[in-house]
Structure 1
Amino acid sequence: MEQLCTHKLPVDIVFHPSWWNKHTGIVFDEDFFYNPLRRVEDERRMEQELHDRFGEYGLGADYDKDLPQIGAVHLAAGYLLSEMLGCNIEYTANSAPQVICAHREGFDVDEEAAFQSPAFKKLQHLIEELKAKYGYVCGDINWGGVLNLAIDLKGESILMDMIMEPEKTKAYFAAIARVVERFFTYIYSETKTTSISVNRLARLLDAPLYLHSECSHTMISTEDYHDYLLPIDVEWSMKYRPYGIHYCGKDPHRHAENFAKVPHLDFLDLGWGGDVHLLREALPNTFFNIRLNPVELNSYTRSELEGIIKERVMQSKDPYQTGICCINMDDKVRDEQVRAIFDIAEECRQTLFKD
């Protein structure tokens, strides 16, 4: 596959809903996600806020456009597939939708029912309304991950199932994977993208990324990943490219050997604390998106942040195979801290890597 990104060290950020609520007054109720008018108006308000504060870095470039975004592309919010599969969702003014664990027993997944659910019907109605007015739709919706969804449905009992009922658990994961695959291929058919809502840095790449969320893989052993979930990554990486894994936990390096077995792992979204050097040794051709810690960011001095970013960028080795992001910065983050991320990245481009 051709190079995933043709410019050096792309950078993007995502603010937590509390930041948006504080600075724009946007309320993240159910209407925000499903009302066609709100979808367009609120996304434009978000673009305007980014343009006004950080426009010199290219943020908020669509501030003067009404874009029919089907999903909240300025948030990190995975909830819809959980709702389609039977979980309840709680909405609050200044946070992302909260998935309530269904605590299901057994291993049944009604794949067709997910696409007949009220949740999916609401999405279809939204898309129809937007297309009727604008003639097209854009954006995407976070499609989560197989283990993430299994935990939403069954809670931590799924971890015991992997020990006690291995074959039933594998079939359960496969059924969830079929629902996920059907969902993201549907989204792609409508908008030609799937993963901006998983990580906004995806919008800066040269091809639309398929990004599988594996937030919960911090909870499982490398052996369990290999036996139960790696086969799904292997299959999807051969069918959907560029293919990536989103691993926001602090230990992505623990799974490096297994990640190396994915035939086409084009992108790795690696969590704060991940050993970049070790991962690069295992994955010499993978684009690394290095995540900064949004909580600790508030306490860093400029020089500390510079040291952190430069160290990890150097460990990744190739500026065309490396990006930087900070996701879910809350209402306590200061504008100068956000600007520092972009300024330090530019310093890296100019001083660490010269063509």
Structure 2
Amino acid sequence: MIKICSRELPVDIVFHPDWWHKNAGISFDEGFFYDPRRRVEDERKMEQVLYERFGSLGLGEDHLKNLPQIGAVHLASGYLLSEMLGCKVEYYDDAPPQVICAHRESLDFEVEDAFQSRAFRRLVGLVDELKAKYGYVVGDINWGGVLNLAIDVRGEEIFTDMVMEPEKAAVFFGKIAQVIDKFVWYVQTNTGSSSISVNRSARLFDYPVAIHSECSHTMISEEDYRRFFLSIDKEWSMRHAPYGIHYCGKDPHRMASAFSEIERLTFLDVGWGGDVALLRKYLPETFFNIRLNPVDIQRYSYEELRQCIRERVEASGGDLTRTGLCCVNMDKTVTDKRIFEIYEVAESLRNNDD
């Protein structure tokens, strides 16, 4: 399996929109996502704020560049594919876009309809405008995941469908997978990456990783995963290498045995509370991106922070080129001091300090 990271214990932080609204004055209205001028200006402003506050940590490295980013690479926010599949999206000044469930009555739809939607056409227009001005585009857009999108489109009824009409549900999931697959290839063909917007840690790797979001898999059993989704992950791991799974729930270890059957699972986002040691037993070669809980770590003393990070990194097996740390959606209450402390703990682990 390819080793995707030559760095030791890479670390990254993603701030919640309310942090950006407070500290950079950025509003996350529709224009932030689709106005080509603001795409460039707001992303550079975000880089500048990161550089001014945390430049010594390596953040804000692009603060001097006007990069034609097609998507919001500083946010953890999936919305566009849901809109392409018929959901409404509401925008806010200090929060990520909110997807409104479409409650689709039928499990049947045509894959190409998603690419004829106003949402996708608007993206294409943005890409074309940025290319016309800059000659190229970079970045990507959070593409979510099969079950995540199915819930957005169908609502909680999808779980009844999985029991009462499993064959139709499987076809429905397959069509959503086709939409995702085509979308990812469109983005990656234009920019060279697909998943910085899924997890910013992806930008730290030696190779661009495709990361499938499985946030909602905490709601299903391992048996359901094997029945409906494992085959998709297996196929994508061969076609989108290097391939990864984002599992932000507290129980990714429930799927450890099934994940071990994915031949090229190069990356795993390990949700806070996941049994890292058990996962490592099943996935000895996979890069583990260990997620820190953005609420809990603000309550910890420095020693508690140090201990919890050390324990989880040690449970990953000791190879710091196969282990990373991230904390996503740190809100406006987090102190700069706490950010520096997270990086300080990581550095002490790299140096093997007691």
Same fold at TM > 0.5: yes
Q: Structure 1: which amino acid aligns with 2:345? A: I
2:178 corresponds to which residue?
178
Map 1:126-145 onto structure 2 (within 5 A). 126-145=126-145
CA–CA separation in structure 2 for the residues paired with 1:49 and 1:309: 26
Specify whether residues 247 and 352 from structure 1 end up closer, same or farther in structure 2 by C-alpha distance, changes over 3 A only: farther
Q: Is residue 11–residue 325 contact of structure 2 (8 Å, CA) maintained in 1?
A: yes
1:57 corresponds to which residue?
57
Structure 1 unmatched runs, 5+: none
Map 1:37-56 onto structure 2 (within 5 A). 37-56=37-56
CA–CA separation in structure 1 for the residues paired with 2:264 and 2:228: 18
CA–CA separation in structure 2 for the residues paired with 1:352 and 1:144: 38
SS in 2 for 1:319: coil
1:260 corresponds to which residue?
260
CA–CA separation in structure 1 for the residues paired with 2:344 and 2:298: 16
Q: Structure 1: which amino acid aligns with 2:346? A: A
Taking every aligned residue pair, what percent have the same amino acid on both sides?
61
Q: Give 1:271 shift.
A: 0.5
SS in 1 for 2:174: helix
2:321 corresponds to which residue?
320
Q: For each residue in 1:113-147, what CA deviation from the matched residue of structure 2 results, as whole angstroms up to 9, or x when unmatched?
A: 11011100110011011001100000000000000
Q: Is residue 2–residue 242 contact of structure 2 (8 Å, CA) maintained in 1?
A: no
Q: Give 1:109 shift.
A: 2.1
Specify whether residues 352 and 225 from structure 1 end up closer, same or farther in structure 2 by C-alpha distance, changes over 3 A only: farther
Map 1:1-355 onto structure 2 (within 5 A). 1-317=1-317, 318-351=319-352
Runs of 4+ aligned structure 1 residues displaced above 4 Å come to none
Q: Structure 1: which amino acid aligns with 2:41? A: E
Give aligned pairs, total.
353
Q: CA RMSD in A?
A: 0.9
CA–CA separation in structure 1 for the residues paired with 2:281 and 2:304: 26
Q: Give 1:75 shift.
A: 0.3
Q: Is residue 294–residue 328 contact of structure 1 (8 Å, CA) maintained in 2?
A: yes
CA–CA separation in structure 2 for the residues paired with 1:296 and 1:312: 15
Q: Is residue 215–residue 248 contact of structure 2 (8 Å, CA) maintained in 1?
A: yes
Moved more, 26-35 or 100-109: 100-109
CA–CA separation in structure 1 for the residues paired with 2:341 and 2:172: 45
Structure 2 unmatched runs, 5+: none
CA–CA separation in structure 2 for the residues paired with 1:189 and 1:345: 34
SS in 2 for 1:133: helix
Q: Give 1:156 shift.
A: 1.0
